[in-house]
Amino acid sequence: MNCISDGSSTWITELAMGLFDYTPNRFAQEKLRLFLKKPSASITEIAKKQHILKGFIDNHSITKSAYGKSDLYSVIDFLTTLRKEAITGKEKWAIRLSINRKMQLQGALTQTSLLLNAIYDVYFKNLSLKVFPGAYRTELLWCADFLNKINAISIERKSIQDGHIKTKLLIAYHNSLVEEIKKGNFAKFWDTVFWFEAYQSIARGIKKNGFVFPRVTDTHELKLSSIYHPGLRDPIKNSLSPEKNVLLLTGPNMSGTSTFLKAISICIFFSGLGLAIPASEATIPCFDTFFNSFTKEDDLEKGYSHFMNEIITLKAVVEDALQNKKCFAVFDELFRGTNVDDANQVTRKTLEGIVRFKHSFFIVSTHLHALEDIDLIKEDKIDTYYFDSGISENMPIFSYKIKKGWSDLKLGEVLFRNSGLDALLRP
């Protein structure tokens, strides 16, 4: 899945970081951010990611970090600057004869030994591998075998406790580390460990938030049950099972339309990442392209107005759809950057055009009440939904629940009057 605009998914990525970032260090955090920026258009790849995350959820007892953050950074710095050749010949005697050189080497190697042993004990010793997909299981097995190999010749824990570490053992351990670095095995090891920690972090977030994995298919079926915006403390849940490929959403300001569209966007984007989503159940198509437009500001640097930005982004979506890509696109208050007459005309043409891309899915919210009379609605070629709202004792009432149909409710005058502006402006 590709994002048509770099900014179309940035807000979702940042939201996801808040939901899933329990990483113990900056390297694992970088892997997590990379994961969250790269959705897939392949059902096979999505299924693989889901399988890996489910494996970590099944291994939920492995939750703590294997080490202190400062210890990790110190060991990585040491291994990065480690000499590239083994200690041999006269240098061995130089270390034996120099207390300072031996103590420096002993301190760094002891810290390395303790950290690598801890990684094995906490992450791999009791890990249930059978719950992971085959290819990833192979990666984890390699990592465990690598640690076993390194730890087998590492500094003995009893020697560390006693404080009596033979120089011969120090040099042997140093040389074994040099050899593995030259083979590229340490680079592979750290990459696997930091991805391990990123997956572990995501699994923890999924479990904590009670998200569920959607069924991702190559069909056009979209079914979302009890979805909600995970950034809200007490969210109202809504369900949606559209029958058409275009959905027109109406509702007065503050009724919940933008929040609902964001909830849908989160679910679709998360599904492409292989993540669980904020819903009770879901079936989601595997889309090739993802785009959502909420607050599109004027681009002063390029000289584009708000309206022109909407034209450019809509054109990018349509060009992808014309190439038979399965596009998912959300437009919140499409063409609100121009006058009402223009907005009505170009919105009609847009709806008439995108309805023919049956392999894609479009959601458009609007406050243009004149659209209720277009032929597409009369002929039942697009779905119409609205947010149920009302007025009681001259005050707006919001249920934040979505229903099929159209909203004609206008709250602008009520809110204007209730704010006191009507009285203040009266001569």
The answer for residues whose C-beta is within 8 angstroms of residue 67's C-beta and 6 or more apart is 24, 115, 118, 119
Looking at the chain, which residues constitute the CATH 1.10.1420 domain(s)?
A: 2-209
Contact present, 394 and 418 (Cβ < 8 Å): yes
The region that residue 379 occupies, defined by phi over 0 for left and psi between -120 and 50 for alpha, beta otherwise, is alpha
Please tell me the CATH code under which domain 215-425 is placed.
Answer: 3.40.50.300
Within 8 A by CB and 6+ apart from 334, the residues are: 293, 310, 314, 343, 347, 350, 364, 365, 366
Instruction: Supply 399's token pair.
Output: 């249920």
Return the amino acid letter for 15: L
Which amino acid belongs to residue 246?
V
Of the chain, the end-to-end C-alpha distance in Å amounts to 58
Work out the number of other CB atoms within 10 angstroms of the CB of residue 294.
16
HEC string of 150-183 equals HHHCCCCHHHHHHCCCCHHHHHHHHHHHHHHHHC
Instruction: Considering only CA atoms, give the Rg of the chain.
Output: 29
Contact 165, 110 (CB under 8 A): yes
> Nearest 5°: CA angle at 373, between 370 and 377?
120
CA 193 to chain centre: 20
> Where does CATH 3.40.50.300 sit in the chain?
215-425
Evaluate whether the domain defined by 2-209 bears CATH number 1.10.3470: no
Structure tokens at 101: 């050189």
Q: Per-residue pLDDT for the chain (427 aa), expressed as one digit of tens each?
A: 665 544 567 889 999 999 999 999 999 999 999 999 888 879 999 999 999 999 999 998 887 888 999 999 999 999 998 877 777 776 676 666 577 777 888 888 889 999 999 999 999 999 999 999 999 999 999 999 999 998 876 766 556 555 667 788 888 888 899 999 999 999 999 999 999 999 999 999 999 999 999 999 999 999 999 999 999 999 999 999 999 999 999 988 788 899 999 999 999 999 999 999 999 999 999 999 999 887 655 555 555 677 788 888 899 999 999 999 999 999 998 888 788 888 899 999 999 999 999 999 999 999 888 898 899 999 999 999 998 887 777 777 888 999 999 887 777 777 777 777 777 777 7
| Chain centroid to CA 161 | 44
Residues in the chain, overall count: 427
Spatial contact of 226 and 277, defined as CB atoms under 8 Å apart = no
